[in-house]
Amino acid sequence: MEAKLEIILIGLNHKTASLEIRERLNGFLNQEGPTPSHLKGRFGLKEALVLTTCNRVEVLFTSEEPDRAILGLSTYWAKGLHPSTDGAFPGFYIYRNEEAVCHLFRVAASLDSMVIGEPQILGQIKEAYRLAVEHQTTGVILNRLLHKTFSVAKRIRSETGIASHAVSISFAAVELGKKIFQDLAGKKVLLIGAGEMAELAAEHLLNNKVQQIMVANRTLERAMELAKRWHGQAISLEEIPSALAETDIVISSTGAPETILFYQDVKSIMKQRKQKPLFFIDIAVPRDIDPKINEIDNVYLYDIDDLQGIVAQNIAERKQEALQAERIIREEWIKFQSWLERIEVIPTILALRKKIENIQRGEWKKAETALQGLPPEQQKAVEIMTQAIINKILHDPITFLKDQATEDQKNEKIDQIQKIFNLSEGMEVD
Protein backbone atom coordinates (compact mmCIF):
# COMPACT_ATOMS: atom_id res chain seq x y z
CA MET A 1 0.00 0.00 0.00
CA GLU A 2 1.18 3.49 -0.76
CA ALA A 3 1.81 6.28 1.76
CA LYS A 4 -1.07 8.39 2.92
CA LEU A 5 -1.43 11.87 1.49
CA GLU A 6 -0.84 14.66 4.00
CA ILE A 7 -1.47 18.40 4.04
CA ILE A 8 1.56 20.22 5.38
CA LEU A 9 2.45 23.82 6.11
CA ILE A 10 5.99 25.04 6.72
CA GLY A 11 6.86 28.63 7.41
CA LEU A 12 8.00 31.39 9.65
CA ASN A 13 6.33 34.58 10.79
CA HIS A 14 6.81 37.70 12.85
CA LYS A 15 6.59 35.65 16.02
CA THR A 16 9.28 33.14 15.13
CA ALA A 17 11.72 35.11 13.01
CA SER A 18 13.08 38.63 12.82
CA LEU A 19 12.28 40.97 9.98
CA GLU A 20 15.78 40.50 8.63
CA ILE A 21 15.35 36.73 8.38
CA ARG A 22 11.94 37.13 6.74
CA GLU A 23 13.40 39.50 4.20
CA ARG A 24 16.30 37.19 3.46
CA LEU A 25 14.04 34.19 2.92
CA ASN A 26 11.78 36.24 0.72
CA GLY A 27 14.73 37.37 -1.38
CA PHE A 28 15.95 33.80 -1.66
CA LEU A 29 12.57 32.58 -2.87
CA ASN A 30 12.37 35.35 -5.42
CA GLN A 31 15.76 34.57 -6.91
CA GLU A 32 14.70 30.93 -7.28
CA GLY A 33 12.18 32.02 -9.88
CA PRO A 34 8.50 32.66 -9.69
CA THR A 35 7.00 30.92 -6.71
CA PRO A 36 5.40 28.47 -6.49
CA SER A 37 6.42 27.01 -9.83
CA HIS A 38 10.00 26.35 -8.73
CA LEU A 39 8.67 23.92 -6.14
CA LYS A 40 6.80 21.90 -8.70
CA GLY A 41 7.78 18.27 -8.56
CA ARG A 42 10.59 18.83 -6.04
CA PHE A 43 10.91 17.03 -2.68
CA GLY A 44 7.84 14.93 -3.43
CA LEU A 45 5.44 17.87 -3.33
CA LYS A 46 2.17 17.16 -5.07
CA GLU A 47 0.37 20.48 -4.77
CA ALA A 48 1.86 23.69 -3.41
CA LEU A 49 1.01 27.27 -2.56
CA VAL A 50 3.45 29.92 -1.36
CA LEU A 51 2.32 32.80 0.82
CA THR A 52 4.74 35.68 1.35
CA THR A 53 3.80 38.87 3.17
CA CYS A 54 5.94 41.24 5.19
CA ASN A 55 5.06 39.25 8.30
CA ARG A 56 5.29 35.70 7.06
CA VAL A 57 6.67 33.24 4.55
CA GLU A 58 4.73 30.00 4.34
CA VAL A 59 4.42 27.07 2.00
CA LEU A 60 1.31 24.96 2.02
CA PHE A 61 1.55 21.67 0.19
CA THR A 62 0.28 18.14 -0.08
CA SER A 63 2.56 15.18 -0.37
CA GLU A 64 2.44 11.43 -0.29
CA GLU A 65 5.95 11.34 1.13
CA PRO A 66 5.48 13.91 3.88
CA ASP A 67 8.67 13.26 5.79
CA ARG A 68 10.85 13.54 2.75
CA ALA A 69 9.06 16.70 1.67
CA ILE A 70 9.40 18.37 5.05
CA LEU A 71 13.06 17.51 5.34
CA GLY A 72 13.81 18.51 1.78
CA LEU A 73 12.01 21.81 1.89
CA SER A 74 13.25 22.93 5.27
CA THR A 75 16.90 22.17 4.56
CA TYR A 76 16.54 23.82 1.18
CA TRP A 77 15.21 26.96 2.87
CA ALA A 78 17.78 26.82 5.62
CA LYS A 79 20.46 26.70 2.94
CA GLY A 80 18.90 29.72 1.36
CA LEU A 81 19.14 31.55 4.65
CA HIS A 82 22.61 30.42 5.65
CA PRO A 83 24.44 28.74 2.78
CA SER A 84 27.05 27.32 5.16
CA THR A 85 24.76 25.35 7.49
CA ASP A 86 23.22 22.02 6.76
CA GLY A 87 20.78 21.72 9.66
CA ALA A 88 17.27 23.08 9.66
CA PHE A 89 16.57 26.63 10.76
CA PRO A 90 14.96 26.69 14.24
CA GLY A 91 12.45 29.45 13.36
CA PHE A 92 10.43 27.23 11.04
CA TYR A 93 7.16 25.85 12.20
CA ILE A 94 5.89 22.66 10.66
CA TYR A 95 2.21 21.85 10.81
CA ARG A 96 0.65 18.65 9.51
CA ASN A 97 -2.95 17.91 8.55
CA GLU A 98 -5.30 19.27 11.20
CA GLU A 99 -2.70 21.70 12.50
CA ALA A 100 -1.85 22.89 9.01
CA VAL A 101 -5.47 23.44 8.00
CA CYS A 102 -6.36 25.22 11.24
CA HIS A 103 -3.28 27.38 10.96
CA LEU A 104 -4.28 28.40 7.45
CA PHE A 105 -7.80 29.25 8.65
CA ARG A 106 -6.32 31.27 11.49
CA VAL A 107 -3.99 33.21 9.21
CA ALA A 108 -6.77 33.96 6.72
CA ALA A 109 -9.10 35.16 9.46
CA SER A 110 -6.30 37.43 10.65
CA LEU A 111 -6.05 35.77 14.05
CA ASP A 112 -2.35 35.20 13.57
CA SER A 113 -1.63 38.75 12.43
CA MET A 114 0.36 41.35 14.31
CA VAL A 115 -2.85 43.40 14.63
CA ILE A 116 -5.69 40.90 15.05
CA GLY A 117 -8.45 41.46 12.55
CA GLU A 118 -6.49 43.53 10.02
CA PRO A 119 -8.11 43.07 6.64
CA GLN A 120 -5.17 42.80 4.18
CA ILE A 121 -4.12 39.23 4.87
CA LEU A 122 -7.12 37.61 3.20
CA GLY A 123 -6.39 39.52 -0.01
CA GLN A 124 -2.77 38.37 0.16
CA ILE A 125 -3.84 34.74 0.46
CA LYS A 126 -6.19 35.15 -2.47
CA GLU A 127 -3.32 36.57 -4.50
CA ALA A 128 -1.07 33.67 -3.49
CA TYR A 129 -3.76 31.23 -4.54
CA ARG A 130 -4.24 33.02 -7.85
CA LEU A 131 -0.51 32.66 -8.52
CA ALA A 132 -0.58 28.99 -7.64
CA VAL A 133 -3.51 28.36 -9.95
CA GLU A 134 -1.75 30.28 -12.69
CA HIS A 135 1.31 28.06 -12.33
CA GLN A 136 -0.89 24.99 -12.02
CA THR A 137 0.54 23.89 -8.72
CA THR A 138 -2.80 23.30 -7.04
CA GLY A 139 -5.02 20.25 -7.33
CA VAL A 140 -8.21 18.84 -5.92
CA ILE A 141 -7.25 19.16 -2.28
CA LEU A 142 -5.69 22.62 -2.20
CA ASN A 143 -8.42 24.04 -4.43
CA ARG A 144 -11.03 22.80 -2.06
CA LEU A 145 -9.03 23.85 0.99
CA LEU A 146 -8.42 27.39 -0.24
CA HIS A 147 -12.05 27.97 -1.13
CA LYS A 148 -12.97 26.66 2.28
CA THR A 149 -10.42 29.03 3.80
CA PHE A 150 -11.96 32.05 2.12
CA SER A 151 -15.40 31.16 3.36
CA VAL A 152 -14.12 30.48 6.89
CA ALA A 153 -12.41 33.88 6.98
CA LYS A 154 -15.60 35.52 5.80
CA ARG A 155 -17.66 33.64 8.34
CA ILE A 156 -15.37 34.63 11.21
CA ARG A 157 -15.41 38.23 10.09
CA SER A 158 -19.19 38.37 10.05
CA GLU A 159 -19.94 36.22 13.09
CA THR A 160 -17.36 37.55 15.51
CA GLY A 161 -16.22 41.04 16.33
CA ILE A 162 -12.55 40.50 15.56
CA ALA A 163 -12.52 43.29 13.02
CA SER A 164 -15.23 45.49 14.38
CA HIS A 165 -13.64 48.22 16.46
CA ALA A 166 -10.83 50.62 15.75
CA VAL A 167 -7.35 49.70 16.95
CA SER A 168 -5.53 52.86 15.96
CA ILE A 169 -5.84 56.31 17.50
CA SER A 170 -6.96 58.04 14.34
CA PHE A 171 -9.54 55.38 13.50
CA ALA A 172 -10.80 55.46 17.06
CA ALA A 173 -11.34 59.21 16.68
CA VAL A 174 -13.29 58.71 13.46
CA GLU A 175 -15.39 55.98 15.09
CA LEU A 176 -16.21 58.31 17.97
CA GLY A 177 -17.15 61.03 15.53
CA LYS A 178 -19.64 58.63 14.01
CA LYS A 179 -21.15 57.87 17.40
CA ILE A 180 -21.70 61.57 17.92
CA PHE A 181 -22.64 62.76 14.44
CA GLN A 182 -23.72 59.51 12.77
CA ASP A 183 -22.59 60.74 9.36
CA LEU A 184 -19.41 62.74 8.95
CA ALA A 185 -20.33 63.83 5.45
CA GLY A 186 -20.92 67.55 5.40
CA LYS A 187 -19.17 68.18 8.72
CA LYS A 188 -16.48 70.83 9.07
CA VAL A 189 -13.12 70.13 10.65
CA LEU A 190 -10.69 72.54 12.25
CA LEU A 191 -7.09 71.51 12.64
CA ILE A 192 -5.13 73.51 15.19
CA GLY A 193 -1.42 72.94 14.81
CA ALA A 194 -0.05 70.17 12.66
CA GLY A 195 1.63 66.96 13.54
CA GLU A 196 1.87 63.53 12.07
CA MET A 197 -1.00 62.12 14.06
CA ALA A 198 -3.26 65.13 13.47
CA GLU A 199 -2.64 64.85 9.76
CA LEU A 200 -3.45 61.15 9.83
CA ALA A 201 -6.70 61.82 11.64
CA ALA A 202 -7.54 64.55 9.12
CA GLU A 203 -6.92 62.12 6.26
CA HIS A 204 -9.27 59.58 7.82
CA LEU A 205 -11.92 62.24 8.27
CA LEU A 206 -11.52 63.26 4.64
CA ASN A 207 -11.98 59.64 3.63
CA ASN A 208 -15.28 59.85 5.47
CA LYS A 209 -16.24 62.77 3.27
CA VAL A 210 -16.10 65.67 5.70
CA GLN A 211 -17.04 68.80 3.88
CA GLN A 212 -14.21 71.14 4.72
CA ILE A 213 -10.94 71.31 6.61
CA MET A 214 -9.65 74.52 8.11
CA VAL A 215 -6.07 74.70 9.31
CA ALA A 216 -4.82 77.09 11.97
CA ASN A 217 -1.12 77.19 12.71
CA ARG A 218 1.45 79.40 14.41
CA THR A 219 3.22 79.82 11.10
CA LEU A 220 0.67 80.67 8.48
CA GLU A 221 2.94 79.26 5.79
CA ARG A 222 2.64 75.73 7.13
CA ALA A 223 -1.10 76.17 7.55
CA MET A 224 -1.42 77.19 3.92
CA GLU A 225 0.64 74.25 2.79
CA LEU A 226 -1.62 71.77 4.59
CA ALA A 227 -4.78 73.59 3.56
CA LYS A 228 -3.67 73.34 -0.03
CA ARG A 229 -3.14 69.61 0.27
CA TRP A 230 -6.70 69.05 1.52
CA HIS A 231 -8.34 71.79 -0.53
CA GLY A 232 -9.11 73.53 2.73
CA GLN A 233 -8.68 76.95 4.18
CA ALA A 234 -5.81 78.36 6.24
CA ILE A 235 -6.61 80.66 9.14
CA SER A 236 -4.56 82.45 11.78
CA LEU A 237 -4.65 81.56 15.47
CA GLU A 238 -6.66 84.69 16.22
CA GLU A 239 -9.46 83.51 13.99
CA ILE A 240 -10.00 80.30 15.95
CA PRO A 241 -12.92 81.55 18.09
CA SER A 242 -14.93 82.60 15.04
CA ALA A 243 -14.02 79.38 13.25
CA LEU A 244 -15.27 77.39 16.25
CA ALA A 245 -18.71 78.83 15.74
CA GLU A 246 -19.13 76.94 12.50
CA THR A 247 -16.95 73.88 12.82
CA ASP A 248 -18.00 70.46 14.13
CA ILE A 249 -14.78 68.61 14.82
CA VAL A 250 -11.61 70.15 16.21
CA ILE A 251 -8.28 68.36 16.18
CA SER A 252 -5.70 70.13 18.26
CA SER A 253 -2.02 69.24 18.35
CA THR A 254 0.04 72.35 18.90
CA GLY A 255 3.37 72.36 20.63
CA ALA A 256 2.17 75.13 22.92
CA PRO A 257 3.22 74.63 26.54
CA GLU A 258 -0.04 75.98 27.95
CA THR A 259 -3.78 75.63 27.42
CA ILE A 260 -5.04 77.49 24.37
CA LEU A 261 -8.81 76.86 24.65
CA PHE A 262 -10.63 77.54 27.87
CA TYR A 263 -13.93 76.49 29.41
CA GLN A 264 -15.41 79.97 29.17
CA ASP A 265 -14.50 80.38 25.48
CA VAL A 266 -16.25 77.18 24.52
CA LYS A 267 -19.21 77.80 26.78
CA SER A 268 -19.98 81.11 25.09
CA ILE A 269 -19.40 79.64 21.64
CA MET A 270 -21.99 76.94 22.31
CA LYS A 271 -24.64 79.62 22.66
CA GLN A 272 -23.64 81.10 19.33
CA ARG A 273 -23.79 77.64 17.79
CA LYS A 274 -27.29 77.07 19.12
CA GLN A 275 -25.93 74.05 20.98
CA LYS A 276 -24.86 72.18 17.88
CA PRO A 277 -22.53 69.38 19.07
CA LEU A 278 -18.81 70.05 19.04
CA PHE A 279 -16.24 67.28 19.18
CA PHE A 280 -12.71 68.09 20.34
CA ILE A 281 -9.79 65.75 19.80
CA ASP A 282 -6.80 66.95 21.74
CA ILE A 283 -3.74 64.94 20.79
CA ALA A 284 -1.22 67.47 21.99
CA VAL A 285 1.16 66.78 24.88
CA PRO A 286 0.89 68.87 27.00
CA ARG A 287 -2.80 69.26 26.34
CA ASP A 288 -4.11 72.28 24.41
CA ILE A 289 -7.68 72.19 25.65
CA ASP A 290 -9.06 72.66 29.13
CA PRO A 291 -10.31 69.18 30.16
CA LYS A 292 -13.26 70.78 31.93
CA ILE A 293 -15.00 71.56 28.64
CA ASN A 294 -16.08 67.92 28.45
CA GLU A 295 -18.65 68.86 31.08
CA ILE A 296 -20.44 71.32 28.79
CA ASP A 297 -23.60 69.93 27.21
CA ASN A 298 -23.13 68.80 23.61
CA VAL A 299 -19.36 69.22 23.85
CA TYR A 300 -17.20 66.12 23.75
CA LEU A 301 -13.50 66.15 24.45
CA TYR A 302 -11.09 63.30 24.00
CA ASP A 303 -7.38 63.59 24.69
CA ILE A 304 -4.61 61.25 23.65
CA ASP A 305 -4.91 59.14 26.79
CA ASP A 306 -8.64 58.67 26.32
CA LEU A 307 -8.12 57.55 22.75
CA GLN A 308 -5.34 55.20 23.76
CA GLY A 309 -7.63 53.80 26.41
CA ILE A 310 -10.26 53.06 23.78
CA VAL A 311 -7.73 51.44 21.50
CA ALA A 312 -6.52 49.23 24.35
CA GLN A 313 -10.10 48.30 25.15
CA ASN A 314 -10.80 47.45 21.52
CA ILE A 315 -7.68 45.33 21.23
CA ALA A 316 -8.72 43.43 24.34
CA GLU A 317 -12.16 42.97 22.83
CA ARG A 318 -10.71 41.59 19.61
CA LYS A 319 -8.70 39.07 21.61
CA GLN A 320 -11.87 38.03 23.34
CA GLU A 321 -13.62 37.64 20.00
CA ALA A 322 -10.71 35.62 18.72
CA LEU A 323 -11.65 32.90 21.21
CA GLN A 324 -15.01 32.62 19.52
CA ALA A 325 -13.27 32.42 16.18
CA GLU A 326 -11.34 29.37 17.40
CA ARG A 327 -14.62 27.56 17.88
CA ILE A 328 -15.61 28.31 14.30
CA ILE A 329 -12.24 27.06 13.11
CA ARG A 330 -12.75 23.75 14.92
CA GLU A 331 -16.17 23.36 13.35
CA GLU A 332 -14.90 24.08 9.87
CA TRP A 333 -11.98 21.71 10.30
CA ILE A 334 -14.37 18.91 11.16
CA LYS A 335 -16.34 19.61 8.00
CA PHE A 336 -13.21 19.71 5.89
CA GLN A 337 -11.92 16.54 7.49
CA SER A 338 -15.03 14.62 6.58
CA TRP A 339 -14.61 15.75 2.99
CA LEU A 340 -11.00 14.59 3.06
CA GLU A 341 -12.07 11.21 4.34
CA ARG A 342 -14.68 10.90 1.70
CA ILE A 343 -12.22 11.52 -1.09
CA GLU A 344 -9.73 9.10 0.44
CA VAL A 345 -11.81 6.13 -0.69
CA ILE A 346 -12.30 7.45 -4.20
CA PRO A 347 -9.22 5.79 -5.78
CA THR A 348 -10.34 2.43 -4.43
CA ILE A 349 -13.86 2.93 -5.75
CA LEU A 350 -12.51 3.85 -9.16
CA ALA A 351 -10.21 0.83 -9.24
CA LEU A 352 -13.04 -1.45 -8.20
CA ARG A 353 -15.30 -0.15 -10.91
CA LYS A 354 -12.57 -0.39 -13.49
CA LYS A 355 -11.81 -3.98 -12.59
CA ILE A 356 -15.42 -5.09 -12.87
CA GLU A 357 -15.90 -3.21 -16.11
CA ASN A 358 -12.81 -4.91 -17.52
CA ILE A 359 -14.33 -8.28 -16.62
CA GLN A 360 -17.54 -7.31 -18.35
CA ARG A 361 -15.68 -6.21 -21.49
CA GLY A 362 -13.67 -9.44 -21.51
CA GLU A 363 -16.72 -11.62 -21.16
CA TRP A 364 -18.52 -9.62 -23.81
CA LYS A 365 -15.68 -10.29 -26.23
CA LYS A 366 -15.79 -14.01 -25.49
CA ALA A 367 -19.50 -14.18 -26.12
CA GLU A 368 -19.35 -11.88 -29.13
CA THR A 369 -19.75 -14.56 -31.77
CA ALA A 370 -22.72 -16.10 -30.02
CA LEU A 371 -24.36 -12.74 -29.51
CA GLN A 372 -23.83 -11.61 -33.08
CA GLY A 373 -26.92 -13.52 -34.17
CA LEU A 374 -29.18 -11.40 -32.04
CA PRO A 375 -30.96 -8.38 -33.44
CA PRO A 376 -29.41 -5.05 -32.34
CA GLU A 377 -32.09 -4.17 -29.81
CA GLN A 378 -31.58 -7.49 -28.04
CA GLN A 379 -27.81 -6.98 -28.02
CA LYS A 380 -28.50 -3.64 -26.45
CA ALA A 381 -30.74 -5.26 -23.85
CA VAL A 382 -28.01 -7.72 -22.88
CA GLU A 383 -25.54 -4.89 -22.49
CA ILE A 384 -27.93 -2.91 -20.33
CA MET A 385 -28.53 -5.99 -18.25
CA THR A 386 -24.85 -6.64 -17.60
CA GLN A 387 -24.36 -3.00 -16.72
CA ALA A 388 -27.20 -3.25 -14.26
CA ILE A 389 -25.67 -6.35 -12.70
CA ILE A 390 -22.39 -4.48 -12.25
CA ASN A 391 -24.11 -1.57 -10.59
CA LYS A 392 -26.05 -3.79 -8.25
CA ILE A 393 -23.01 -5.81 -7.27
CA LEU A 394 -20.92 -2.70 -6.70
CA HIS A 395 -23.55 -0.91 -4.70
CA ASP A 396 -22.87 -2.69 -1.43
CA PRO A 397 -19.07 -2.55 -1.39
CA ILE A 398 -19.15 1.16 -2.35
CA THR A 399 -21.62 1.97 0.39
CA PHE A 400 -19.42 -0.01 2.73
CA LEU A 401 -16.44 2.15 1.74
CA LYS A 402 -18.22 5.47 1.86
CA ASP A 403 -19.84 4.81 5.18
CA GLN A 404 -18.61 7.23 7.86
CA ALA A 405 -16.04 5.51 10.02
CA THR A 406 -13.07 6.26 12.17
CA GLU A 407 -9.66 6.64 10.59
CA ASP A 408 -8.49 3.12 11.58
CA GLN A 409 -11.63 1.43 10.39
CA LYS A 410 -11.43 3.34 7.14
CA ASN A 411 -7.95 2.12 6.29
CA GLU A 412 -8.94 -1.39 7.24
CA LYS A 413 -11.99 -1.21 5.01
CA ILE A 414 -9.96 0.04 2.06
CA ASP A 415 -7.50 -2.76 2.71
CA GLN A 416 -10.24 -5.40 2.88
CA ILE A 417 -11.88 -4.32 -0.33
CA GLN A 418 -8.54 -4.19 -2.08
CA LYS A 419 -7.72 -7.72 -0.91
CA ILE A 420 -11.11 -9.21 -1.71
CA PHE A 421 -11.15 -7.81 -5.22
CA ASN A 422 -7.37 -8.04 -5.64
CA LEU A 423 -7.14 -4.42 -6.70
CA SER A 424 -3.44 -3.75 -6.05
CA GLU A 425 -2.46 -3.70 -9.72
CA GLY A 426 -5.29 -1.35 -10.72
CA MET A 427 -4.37 1.36 -8.22
CA GLU A 428 -1.71 3.16 -10.22
CA VAL A 429 -4.19 4.65 -12.61
CA ASP A 430 -5.72 8.00 -11.65
Q: Reduced to 3 DSSP states, what percent helix, strand and coil does the chain have, rounded to the nearest 5?
A: 60, 15, 30
CB 306 → another protein: shortest distance, Å? Answer: 5
- Between 43 and 279, name the residue whose CB sits nearer to another protein: 279
Nearest to 332, CA basis, from 148, 69, 170: 148
Member of 242, 309, 320, 380 binding another protein (CB under 8 A)? 309
Of positions 2, 83, 87, 179, contacts another protein by CB under 8 A:
179
Answer yes or no whether residue 176 interacts with another protein by CB under 8 A. yes
Please name which of 325, 317, 313, 312 lies closest in space to residue 111, comparing C-alpha atoms.
325
Amino acid at 247: T
Contact 89, 83 (CB under 8 A): no
Q: Does 300 bind another protein (CB under 8 A)?
A: yes
Q: Would you please indicate which residues are annotated as catalytic (active-site) residues?
A: 54
Site stretch for another protein (CB under 8 A), options 133-141, 308-316, 359-367, 419-427: 308-316
Residue 263 C-beta: closest distance to another protein, Å: 15
User: Least Å distance between CB 118 and another protein?
Assistant: 19
Residue 157 CA, distance from chain mean position: 10
Pair 292, 280: CB distance under 8 Å: no
Coil, strand, or helix at residue 51?
strand
Near another protein by CB under 8 A: residue from 46, 103, 157, 165: 165
- The four Cα atoms 16, 19, 20, 23 give a dihedral, to 10 degrees, of 100
CA 283, CA 192: separation in Å to the nearest integer? 10
Closer residue to another protein in complex, CB, 301/414 = 301
Show contacts with another protein in window 341-400 (CB under 8 A): none
Q: Are strands 233-235 and 93-96 parallel, antiparallel or unpaired?
A: unpaired
Supply φ then ψ for residue 260, to 5 degrees: -110, -15
CB under 8 A: which stretch of 87-95, 178-186, 211-219, 335-343 binds another protein?
Answer: 178-186
| 318 is a site residue for another protein (CB under 8 A) | no
Binders of another protein among 260-299, rule CB under 8 A? 273-277, 294, 297-298
* Cα–Cα nearest to 89, from 100, 102, 79: 79
Q: How far is the CB of 302 from another protein (least distance, A)?
A: 7
Q: Is 308 in the site for another protein (CB under 8 A)?
A: no
In whole angstroms, give the CA distance from residue 414 to residue 402. 10
- Contact region with another protein (CB under 8 A), list: 44-52, 109-117, 195-203, 305-313: 305-313
Residue 279 or 333: the one with the smaller Cβ distance to another protein is 279
Rank residues 125 and 205 by Cβ distance to another protein and give the closer one.
205
**Cα dist from 295 to 116, 229, 291, whole Å:** 35, 35, 8
Residue closer to another protein (CB basis): 297 or 396: 297
Considering the complex, what minimum distance in angstroms separates the CB of residue 322 from another protein? 17
Q: Name the residues that contact another protein, by CB under 8 A.
A: 164-165, 176, 178-183, 273-277, 294, 297-298, 300, 302, 306, 309-310, 313
